[in-house]
Structure formats: structure tokens, C-alpha cells
A = this chain, B = another copy of it.
């Protein structure tokens, strides 16, 4: 698997799997060529920390494949996930030197990186990049606010259902399948990571997953493979209105 991902080292954007969704989505051939000059790939193994909070960041970049998490940690060890980074998501903040969060590879991960200074210069001269980045940042802001409602007001059961709904819906959108009724996917997160995302303990996550299973809202094959027989039922459990604020 890691071998596969390393093969991205050939630096040709035109065949890139995230070409049409990443920060470079709006760039034309010329602009892409200039980006190619300052880009490079980096691979990380599952579990590796990509960036430590507080560290100086000399690059920004996009997730090409794999999954990473964005987390904050308090001195006493309490941690809260503040973002889930999927292919095409952008990492780093132009105009800031220090990293504000830990970025950890949850699966094997490949990133397309740009040295920060040249990237910032390109942003000045290439509106297409800044425009796309604004769009992506606004989407992330919406997602963060959506999540604030989950964290602040939902019960443990609703939180689990919300997370499953988000993952299920996203999987469906990647495969361009409608979320009619039956939805099947693999959880990309451990119970502990789910807990960190949801502001719960891993025990509570485990209990509520079991409860949803017992009540027939979901079916489990193994620990990670999930089947949702009736997606609208899951949305009800999540406390979302029926079609759940059609996200991206």
C-alpha cells in the first residue's frame, strides 16, 4: 500500500487524483506548470505525526491520499479533534509561521507540498489559487460550525449517529452514489479517534455504537465495516432534519 502511494513521486499534475478538487482546482495549464516547479511529495506512515503544534511550518500542501487528523491538546492531555483531513483538503495557513494544531496521519498518507514562501508569492499573483482557497476555507468554516452544534448540544447517541452520517454521506459522494437507503463503508477512525472527534470517552463511543447496532440502526461486520440499512433512520437518530443540510 505504501509502495503504491510512493509512486506519486512522478510530478505530473494532469493525472493527479485531486486535480479538480484541491487548492489548484481552478488553475490553468500555465499556473499548474508554475506550481509544479515548487511542489514535492511527502509520504507518511499511519500513526506518524506530520506537524507538531507550535512548530515552525515551512510548507503548506494538500492531502493526496490517505487520512489525517487535526487535533488540539490541553496540558493535562485532554484532546479534541478539530478537523478531519481527506484527499484534496489543504494543510497550513498562508501568512502564518507556526502550526496551530497537531496533524497526524491516521492512515498511510501522501501529501503534495509547496514551500511556503514561493506559494505565498504565487497566491499574490494568481487569483485562481486565492479564490479556490477562500472557497475551501469557507467550506471548512461551515463544517466547523456544524460540528460546534454536535459538540455543544447533541447527546452521545446523536453524536455517533452524526459522525456515521457524515462519513456515510461523504463516501457516497465520492462514489457518486445517492444516499437512498443502504449505505456501506469502513470507519477510518479508531474508537479513540471517534471519541476525540465527538468530545466523548472511548467507552461511551463503544457503548453507543453497540446500542445503535442493537437497535438495528446500523449493522457491523467486524469492528470497522458498517452497513446502514436505512439512511434516513440514521439521520433521525442524528437529530438532523430529514435530509440533513446537504453538505458537500
Contacts and interface: CB of A to CB of B under 8 A. Distances in A.
A227 to B, nearest CB: 27
Contacts of A13: none
A127 interface: yes
Given A137-B138, A142-B100, A149 B239 contact: no
A75 interface: yes
Nearest to A158: B74
B239 A74 contact: yes
A80 B154 CA distance: 10
Interface in A229-248: 239, 241, 245
A79 B153 contact: yes
A78 interface: yes
Contacts of A86: none
Contact of A152 (B101, B145, B151): B151
Interface residues of A, number: 40
A201 to B, nearest CB: 11
Contacts of A140: 141
Contacts of A134: 130, 133-134, 137
Contacts of A141: 137, 140-141, 144
A131 interface: yes
A83 interface: yes
A80 B148 contact: yes
Contacts of A148: 72, 80, 82, 144, 147-148, 151
A199 B147 contact: no
A122 to B, nearest CB: 13
Contact of A145 (B83, B124, B127, B245): B83
Contacts of A198: 152
B153 A93 contact: no
A135 interface: yes
B74 A153 contact: yes
Interface of A: 70, 72, 74-76, 78-80, 82-83, 93, 95, 100-101, 124, 127, 130-131, 133-135, 137-138, 140-142, 144-149, 151-153, 198-199, 239, 241, 245
